[in-house]
Amino acid sequence: MATRLSDVAARAGVSVKTVSNVINDYPHITARTRAKVEAAIAALDYKPNVSARSLRKGRSDFIALAIPEMGSPYFAELGAEISRAAKRRGITVLIDQTEGEADAERFVLDGMRGQLIDGIIFSPLATAPAKLTSDSIGKPLVLLGERPAGGQFDRVAVDSVQASHDATSHLIALGRRRIAAIGVGGTSTGAVRRKGYRKALKEAGLPHDPALELAAAGYHRIDGATSMRELLELPEPPDAVFCFNDLLALGALRTLADAGLRVPEDIAVVGFDDIEDGRYHSPTLTTISQDTEWLAENAVGLLLDRIAGNSDAPHRDLAVPYTLKIRESSAG
């Protein structure tokens, strides 16, 4: 038979109401009473009825995090930070992988998991901004990433245009003149980061050569390796390459090693995201490093503010702090 609230009360020597107050984190409970009840809960392995609690509170204390890929090191690290930020506030995060597919993203927005969640932190790839409206989404929502939503929702994102400009300018300052870009087009990320790349070239008086701008089937190591091979087959290969994420850069570095080229002496390489793999690669990877802890804290904070009822405040667009981490792949 399942343990009941009255069983916990009897073991702790308190009333059922007191046990309920402890479970629901009622503030006016003495430390001694709280400790007795918590000890009884642990001893009897009591599991509170989450559904009943949710009905009483009007909240479930669950939020959803919808990301394109759980296998991506960047999204894995970000998911861990968001989970930690939520846990500090007594909130549980349910993670869903959309694989950047429109139907999967639509499923998230149409009410993933029904009444189980209070709100959503969402990193869209396939959903057009016009589809992101407060009327069509029945939950508080915070967006991550480059894609805007016309001021309808709070958003937390790095300034990818400026960050990509800074990465490209770093290569230009090193004296590189044929700077390739891997990852252009296909997604909002590719379009926005190409804008910063081209802006830096223009400011330096360097033309953007279409042959040096390569799209990628995905943002994985194999895509970076394949694109790098294409660049090396050009009559005049690049002397530097800016990859729009670190996995692309790591794939490019593999191709360069296989070709017997030296990094950065022959070709300098810069990535974006500062995943752990890049910090321990040989050579270590120069990259744009976003403050993911700051991102997570603010994304969770914005969402919980909306869940708490602050729905009429102007929507906020927060820029994630970032730095250019200069390492061996560009500086030697």
Q: What is the residue-wise DSSP string for 174-231?
A: TT--SEEEES-SSSHHHHHHHHHHHHHHHHTTPPPPGGGEE--SSSSHHHHHHHHHHH
Mean pLDDT of the region 314-319: 91
Provide the token pair at 236: 């005049």
Question: Of the candidates 277, 243, 238, which has an alpha carbon nearest to the alpha carbon of residue 261?
Answer: 238
Q: What is the pLDDT of residues 230-250, one digit of tens each?
A: 999 999 999 999 999 999 999
Q: Look up the pTM and report it.
A: 0.81
Residue 35: helix, strand or coil by DSSP? helix
Confidence of residue 38 (pLDDT cuts 50, 70, 90): confident
Mean pLDDT value of segment 104-125: 80
Report the sign of the C-alpha dihedral through residues 269, 272, 274, 277, in that order.
negative
What gap in Å lies between CA 19 and CA 77, rounded to an integer?
37
Q: What is the pLDDT of residues 4-19, one digit of tens each?
A: 878 888 988 988 788 8
Residue 26 pLDDT > 80 = no
- Cα separation, 330 vs 202, in Å, equals 21
- pLDDT bracket for residue 193 (50, 70, 90): very high
Of the two residues 47 and 48, the one the predictor is more confident about is 47
Distance CA 2, CA 46 (A): 8
- pLDDT at 125 (0 to 100): 84
Asked if the bond preceding 283 is cis, omega within 30° of 0, the reply is: yes
For residue 198, pLDDT beyond 80: yes
Query: What is the rounded distance in angstroms from the CA atom of residue 176 to the CA atom of residue 330?
Result: 10
pLDDT at position 107 is 82
**What per-residue confidence (pLDDT) applies to 237?**
97
**Position 53 pLDDT exceeds 80:** no
pLDDT at 45: 81
What pLDDT, on the 0 to 100 scale, is given for residue 253? 98
Least confident of 17-31, 52-66, 89-103, 237-251: 52-66
Question: Percentage helix, strand, coil, to 5, in the chain?
Answer: 45, 15, 40
Report how far residue 180's alpha carbon sits from residue 229's, in angstroms, rounded to the nearest whole number. Answer: 12
Spatial CA neighbour of 62 closest among 304, 327, 306: 304
- pLDDT for res 31: 83
Q: Is residue 176 scored above 70 in pLDDT?
A: yes
**SS3 at position 275:** coil
Q: 114 pLDDT band (50/70/90 cuts)?
A: low
| Distance (Å, whole) CA 84 – CA 93 | 9
Confidence of residue 101 (pLDDT cuts 50, 70, 90): confident
